[in-house]
Structure 1
Amino acid sequence: MKKALIITYYWPPAGGSGVQRWLKFVKYFRDFGIEPIIYTVENPNYPIMDDSLFKDIPNEIKILKQPIWEPNNLFAFFGKKKTESAGFLNPNPTFFGKILQYIRANYFIPDARKFWVKPSTKYLKQYLKSNSIDIIITTGPPHSMHLIGLNLKKELNIKWLADFRDPWTEIDYFQQLPLTKKAIKKHHFLEKEVLKNADAVLVVGKTMREKFSKFNNNVVTATNGFDGKISVTSSELDTKFTVTHVGLMNADRNPQMLWEVLSEIVAENKEFAADIELKLIGKTDASVIVAIIKYRLSKNVKVIDYVTHDKVVEFQKKSQVLLLIVNNVPSAKGIITGKIFE
């Protein structure tokens, strides 16, 4: 059986979208003759936790862990306080917040997990010398994981697959970061180094594949998907006309036009006003709440904080309509979220 070492920051008990892709890949690796070994963080600082995902980890899988130092206590825009943005950046930071954003953008490249790169390279270099591994796989973001792969590739010439769940320099929030020209140049340099040196690059969609193919001749698309073993039994629909959005609802996803249209219909049609219920499940930015209040939709919108993935599926089954919103950014056309498949 071939052995693959997967280097990932997100692993249960991490919740949210970042953990799903490789947790599900690993769940079925053995069916394809691949024995997965996981390398992840010992003391992670996950913003969302979901213990229900532990059940998807294969029995007796080897999981390697090493400690990480994360300076996230400095970053107000990571959304750790209720008053802060639910997305990657606080759109209205305080003066101190602006300073922290500048430090984060220009001194922690490619991201705040950069301090895990050197110790991980050292640890895994010794592990790979003592154990037979056929391929290493890095998945980002955080794209610091790819720098670990880059170092191991250069030092040991091991087969390396770099998986991009999201773009690097074209990720939603990249253009919003207060980056200096020097920092932008470094991001692009590191991105190209990863793409040029990886034996293969895995991406989630056609747009990313087309752009990355300029730097690597072996770029393969493996879209996100859904777990076929999750129960597909039907559930009774909600009695009300429910419209459900699952996931982050940050400032860039705030659908002002939707609120405006719903507000007009609710004002004109009392029967519709009594029946419509919009559920926002997941971290919701303060600007979205403000817009809901502005358009007098508070009675029709139910904001539900993060729930476990199995409970999310139940909400989806019972809903009359599922709402999908992507960030209002230039790279939006390349975003193919896992929610589409579910």
Structure 2
Amino acid sequence: MKVLIITYYWPPAGGPGVQRWLKFVKYLPGYGIEPVVYIPENPTYPLLDNGLLDEVNPDTTIIKHKIMEPYAWAAAFSKGNTKKISSGIIPNKKRQSVLQRLMLWVRGNLFIPDARVLWVKPSIAYLSAYIKQNNIDTIITTGPPHSLHLIGLGLKKRLGVTWLADFRDPWTTIGYHKELKLSASAEAKHKALEKEVLTTADTILVTSPTTKKEFEALTSKPIEVITNGYDVEKIAKQPLDEKFSIAHIGSFLSERNPQILWESLAELVSDNADFKAHFQLKLIGAVSREVLDSINKFGLNPYVNNLGYVSHSEAVIQQRKSQVLLLIEIDSEETKCIIPGKLFEYMVSERPIVAIGPQGADYAEIIKQTNTGIALNYSEKEKLKQSLLGYFDQYQKGSLQSYAIGLQQYSRKSLTGRLAEVLKRQ
């Protein structure tokens, strides 16, 4: 069985967006499915990780076609702002410059559903010929960017191929959507396109139960939940940090700025001399100005080890070296469906997770079921402090570790097996 996978993010792209389909492509041949990957020839990736190129099977067929990207043009005026916005880091409204507000308005209202929409028509034309010549009858599109689903929509209408639309994140309810300064007509167009994709695709793939429930209100098509997962990493056992390191790995956006955490840490540093002597806040990845300002406001700067963006392999090493791992999600109804990809790597690191997010978040149930840490909401400050003190006590005794259960269901190989079953039912 041959399947065409249409994706924007592919090595050397860095960040979480590349991992899902890089791993599916890695394991699909073992289930009797040959993946053909379609990617842009000249993409504008906000993050690069050349180490991921080594994970691409040299036998995988990869086809490319040129893309015109507004982000490439915008970089000529403001490279820094362009890079931040394209990677989802949107400044706080009160701190947005005139240029930033203009860029967000243009991004939201002139390029619908997103800035990669100019790749849609050329890709439909190019892939129509390729699909016919190579006898492909099943395609998969993965978003964001959700403009890639419009490629699938066009190919479905033109050729009648079987089409699976994979949503790594929601479309009109994703956290940053309301920050795009959308006009009423632009908002209506987003919703119309979303509904057309959901009602035209043969099967919808989502990463969380809440997104499935949301989409069931919009379509009667089959919806399958296949979460992200972890892969077997060939990394030697790491010595733990000597400090009581509490590490956040990944983009730390301004909307995820957890005042409850900074207050708790500041009070623990003030009230507990041992905690003060051993504590370290480790930040790995892009961190917004608002988060850094809050850390400074609470007097935590002396305890910060800010490593910036690192390769995926180095991020995994840092996960396994850290004493405690932080998972922070925006406190809103829209983010209950978000299950960050890093959660699954966290779970196999044998380090306890402290998660802070909305009440009823999908990831909280996974953490509970796998016994990999604690999941709190933004009103549970005292519980957070007590949990951190409990982990600190175990750290001092040399016994701090998580004891996970039932993780195999989240291995990339097992998840690919579930994907293969879905594909073979089409």
Shorter-chain TM-score range: over 0.9
Aligned-partner SS, 2:301: coil
1:74 corresponding residue in structure 2? 74
CA contact (8 A) 1:105 1:177 kept: yes
Matched letter for residue 252 of structure 2 = M
Aligned ranges for residues 89-168 of structure 1 at < 5 Å? 89-91=90-92, 92-168=95-171
Work out which of the residue numbers 181, 206, 210 in structure 1 matches 2:209. 206
Match of 1:225 in 2: 229
Q: Is 1:273 the equivalent of 2:268?
A: no
Identity of aligned residues (%): 48
The offset of 1:232, in angstroms, is 6.7
C-alpha separation between the residues in 2 aligned to 1:173 and 1:213?
22
Partners of 1:3 and 1:83 in 2: CA distance: 35
Q: What residue number does 1:40 align with?
A: 39
TM-aligned CA distance change 1:334 to 1:75, over 3 Å: farther
CA distance in 1, matches of 2:141, 2:269: 48
Residues 322, 293 of structure 1: CA spacing in aligned structure 2 closer, same or farther, 3 A cutoff? same
With 136-145 and 48-57 compared, the bigger mean Cα shift is at 48-57
The residue type equivalent to 1:89 in the other structure is I
Confirm or deny: 8 A CA contact 1:83 1:286 kept in the other structure: no
Matches of 1:286 and 1:146, distance apart in 2 = 33
In structure 1, C-alpha distance between the alignment counterparts of 2:149 and 2:252, rounded to whole Å: 28
Aligned to 1:49: 48
Equivalent residue number for residue 315 of structure 1: 318
**Runs of at least 5 residues in structure 2 that lack an aligned partner in the other structure:** 346-426
Q: Secondary structure at the match of 2:281?
A: strand
Q: TM-score, normalised by structure 2?
A: 0.77
Q: CA deviation at 1:88?
A: 3.4
Are the counterparts in 2 of residues 6 and 37 from structure 1 also a CA contact under 8 Å?
A: yes
Distance 2:82 2:176 in 1: 20
Runs of 4+ in 1 over 4 A off after TM superposition: 81-86
Aligned to 1:13: 12
1:138, 1:162 within 8 Å by CA — same for their partners in 2?
yes
1:309-333 deviation digits (Å, cap 9, x = unpaired): 1111111111111110012332121
* TM-score, normalised with respect to structure 1: 0.95
Cα drift, residue 336 of structure 1: 0.9
Could you say what the CA RMSD is over the residues aligned between the two structures, in angstroms? 2.0
Partner of 2:396: none
List aligned pairs for 1:220-299, cutoff 5 A: 220-227=224-231, 229-231=232-234, 234-299=237-302
The answer to whether structure 1 residue 30 and structure 2 residue 29 are counterparts is yes
Matching residue's letter, 1:279? K
Distance 2:198 2:83 in 1: 38
Q: Distance in 2 between matches of 1:42 and 1:262?
A: 46
Residue segments in structure 1 that go unaligned for 5+ positions in a row: none
Match of 2:192?
Answer: 189
